[in-house]
Amino acid sequence: MLSRSILLGLVLASSAFAQQLALTELVLRADPSEVAIRPLDSIPIQALYYGKDGDQRVRLRLDGATFSLAAENTGLLSKPFRFQGQETEEFYEAPSQGLSSIIFGRASAQYVLQDAVVYTAPAEAGAYEIRASLNGIEASLQITVAANAPGLRPD
């Protein structure tokens, strides 16, 4: 049986060969999409990577964005992890891919990609900005922290 490190290497190599499109856009989205949370509450933030296939905008199977807060003492960010919520878009798959590239590409999307962080809000209400960047492409998302925001956890 293949060891985990060998499998990881195969998945990454397969993804690198299969994906030839350049990153043109980086988008941050909160899950749920409502970006108002209560003080000290947490919300997942996912980075979505896009490129161009001709004139069509397509979602790329990438990770590696650097997440940061726009100012100090405006909350906390977790270490990156694989997004656990519902994916709403399919990843781009080159038309000339073989079966092994498709299988390894899907495995990397499920097990290897680390495209999300958890933002934990500070105790003070206000509007706070989360930023991400990769290869010179930047994105930001504003989160509103308010005591009267809907709760994310079931009561």
> What pLDDT, in 10s, does the model give residues 11-63?
444 444 444 789 999 999 998 887 799 999 999 999 999 999 989 999 998 88
The confidence band for 7, taking pLDDT boundaries of 50, 70 and 90, is: very low
Cis peptide before 32 (omega within 30 of 0): yes
| CA atoms of 62 and 114, how far apart (whole Å) | 9
| CA atoms of 121 and 30, how far apart (whole Å) | 13
Q: pLDDT tens, 108-133? A: 555 568 899 999 999 999 999 999 99
- Mean pLDDT, rounded, for 77-105: 76
Fold of 25-92+114-145: Immunoglobulin-like (2.60.40)
Query: What predicted TM-score, i.e. pTM, was given to this entire model?
Result: 0.76
- Mean pLDDT, rounded, for 80-85: 89
pLDDT at 111: 57
